[in-house]
Structure formats: C-alpha cells, structure tokens
Amino acid sequence: MPPVHPGALLADAAARWGTPLYVTDLDAAAARLHGYADAFPGALIAYAVKANPDPQLLRRLVAEGAGVEVVTAVELALARRAGCPPERLVMNGVGKRDEEIRLALEAGALVNAESLHELGVLLRTAAGHDAPRIGLRLNPALDAETHPHLATGAGGSKFGIPLAQLPQALRLVREAGIGLESVGAHVGSALESAEPYAALAERLAEAAAIASAAGLPPARIDLGGGLLVADDAALDALADAVRSHLPDAARLILEPGRSVVADAGWLLTRVVRVQPRPAEGLAYLVADAGMTELIRPMLYGATHPVSLVVPGARLEVDGGGEVHLAGPICEAGDILVRCLERSLTAEELAGAGPGAVLAIGRAGAYGAAMASVYNGRLRPAEVVLEAGEARLSRRRETLDDLLSRDA
C-alpha cells in the first residue's frame, strides 16, 4: 500500500503553487533507495532517471549514494549536474546516437551496447579513450507477464543483444582489445513478482560464465529494474530470487526507477466541473489535470489511488452510480481514475465537488517525466517535500517558455 500522504503539506502546496502540481517526498524516495542498498550490500543502485528527473530528487539520491541510469545525453547531463561521480553512471538505450556514445565515454560512464551494430560503433569510439567502460545488454527472451508495452525482456522486443549473438559480441570485444565491464538485461517493468528475476539471474550467470570462458570476465552483472514496489517484503523476495544464481551482491548493478519514486509522489488536481450522465448511471468529475500530466492510465491502463486533500462544493449526482475522475483534454480516453468510490469514502466523495483538491497517488514516477503540452497545456510546477517542509523545485511553465522556441 502507498504511504499515507502528508495532507496538510499537500493542501499548503496546492494553495501556494496552484494546481495541477507534482509533489515528491524526497525522504520517502531516499528510504526506498536505502531499502535496495540493504537488500543488496555493496551493489550499485543506479536510479533510472527517466522515472522522475526532478533536479532536487536527483541531487538527494546521488548524495545518498545512488548511481544514475540514463538513456540520452540530456539525462547524462542531468546526472552529472546532480553530482553523480563517473563510476556510478550507467548508459543504456537502443538508439544512442554516436555523439551520445562519445559523451558518455568521455564522462566515464559504463556504456552498454544493445545491438551488434551499436557495439561496433561503441568499440570504435572507445578506442580513442583511456580505460573505457563498456558492457553488453542482452535480450533474455523472458516473458515477465506484464503489460506488452513494458515487456522489455521479451524475445520480440527491440531491447538487447539476443543471447544467440553473445559469442559474436564477445569476439568483437576481444578483437578490440577492450575489457568487459558488465553483462546485463532488463526483463520488464511493473513486475509484481520476483520470479522473473530468478530466471533472469540464471541466464545472466550463464552469460557471465560464457564471457569468462572467452577471456572476458565481466566485473559487473546488471539486473536492470522493473520491480513494481520496493517494500521490505518485495526486496527480500527479490534478493532471495537472485542470490541462488548470483550470490555476490557487491558485483551487481540494479536500476530501479518506479519503485523508488512512484509511492513518494502525488499529482494534485482541482475539480473544476461536474459532468453527469444519469442515463448511463455515471458522472464525471472534470479536473484541471489530465493525460497531459499523467498519461499512464491512458497508455497502460494503470490505476492510481485518490485522496481528498481539500473539500470542495457538495457533490450532487442525480441517480447515483459510478463517479469517474476525468481530465480536460479533447480525448475520450482522458480518464485519470475510474470509480472514485473505490478510493474515497461516501463522505469524502460527497465533498469532491467543484473546488475540491484531490491527490492522485503513485504519481511520483512517469508523471512529470511524461508530461506534454498537447492542447496547449503548460507543464505544472514541481514541489519537493523534505524534513517536513515543502519547497519549489521547478516553476510552472509559461507561454513565454513555449514561444521562446519559435523561429
């Protein structure tokens, strides 16, 4: 279950900075990070910046000992700006441009090749650098039983070098006269069970043995990320699943993103309209946040809990029935939460009329990171909580920000 939100702080944040508004609890995110470190002593826990690139969040996690996993030059720059040391930088990604590979190598990052073609480019570029750190990201061909869009380890996905091509990849590395920093894979995201990681660990242990037999013993084994939640029970199960195949935790790299920050963040939104549909037995609360602020429900069918932070007008819905939270975007699929009665008590729902402020939970990951300006929407401000206080991390986007790009 997600932590109980700090209602007074959220109400104050909404009053000070308006809605929609992203709020991230830095202390909660740091606690999740330490949970990983405790479960895997000595491992490199490289936070996946794509989940939430808030600058103060990155600085806090790096200060707490995290590495950073990036997939673009911009994410690399954000990680370096946050103070991440070179030995804790990891770059993945199937479409890294040649220039991005060069920048990552210059930064001292571990750069993982995801195809034989990319490996060739990486090796040629690495030849001009001292002590380059390169790795192989493999495709484990595992069914992680998650949403198809999140099944990065499936055999038909675009990610990673097929296991059948591992000998060829090792030959290219050996001929280049460069050592192998890591072998790894990412099995998928939003995984509710540790079972896929047991199968992944077994295949990566085999891949490491093959590499060692070829004269390229990898210093690290990279398990990627993808765990849905990172409470103590889930992390214990993950560690147990991995340990039987990869017992040396200090040799591992993990790349959690969502499980570190999802439950540490909320999207605050204000109800602006009520749209009743009595003939259909439902009503919509139309909020000032929508798919442009949180696309996961539309993109993945993701579900998010909702809490009432500030009551609004009394909600009167003719005929009763279901109440859905909808966004203002001109798309029929712009529904943030269906059946609010599953999250709110009857009394809370009655207070959720126009003017009410709602907190959409589990929005710390892939909320702000995937926000868009579709329909002329300006991206919300971002606020962080730390030691019981709220402060602005990123201001709200303005029309001038958008127009500044015009030629």
| End-to-end CA gap in the chain | 48
Q: What is the model's pLDDT at position 142?
A: 76
132-167 per-residue burial string, b: 16 or more CB within 10 A, e: under 16? bbbbbbbbbbbebebeeebbbbbeebebbbebebbe
The reply to whether 263-401 shares the fold of 26-258 is: no
- Residue 361 has a pLDDT of 97
330 catalytic? Reply is yes
Percent of the chain with pLDDT over 70: 95
pLDDT band at 264 (very low <50, low <70, confident <90, very high): very high
pLDDT of residue 6 exceeding 80: no
Question: Could you tell me which CATH number the domain at 263-401 has?
Answer: 2.40.37.10
Mean pLDDT of the chain: 93
* Residue 144: per-residue pLDDT: 54
Within 10 Å of residue 398's Cβ, how many Cβ atoms? Answer: 11
Contact (Cβ atoms closer than 8 angstroms) between residue 337 and residue 306: yes
Going by pLDDT thresholds of 50, 70 and 90, the confidence category of residue 150 is: very low
Over residues 100-143, the pLDDT tens digits come to 999 999 999 999 999 999 999 999 999 988 899 999 999 987 76
Catalytic residue chosen out of the listed positions 4, 164, 279, 330: 330
How confident is residue 1, by pLDDT bands cut at 50, 70 and 90? very low
For position 262, what pLDDT does the model report? 96
Asked if residue 401 has pLDDT above 70, the reply is: yes
Is the pLDDT at 4 greater than 60? The verdict is: no
Q: What is the third-level CATH fold of 26-258? A: TIM Barrel (3.20.20)
pLDDT at 40 over 70: yes
Q: What is the pLDDT of residue 2?
A: 45
Going from N- to C-terminal start, the domains of the chain cover 26-258, 263-401
Looking at residue 317, its pLDDT comes to 72
Q: Band of the pLDDT at 155, cuts 50, 70, 90?
A: low
* Predicted model pTM: 0.93
- Note the pLDDT tens digit of each residue in 184-207: 999 877 788 888 899 899 999 999
- pLDDT value at residue 5: 61
When pLDDT is cut at 50, 70 and 90, the band that residue 9 belongs to is: very high
**pLDDT at 158 > cutoff 90:** no
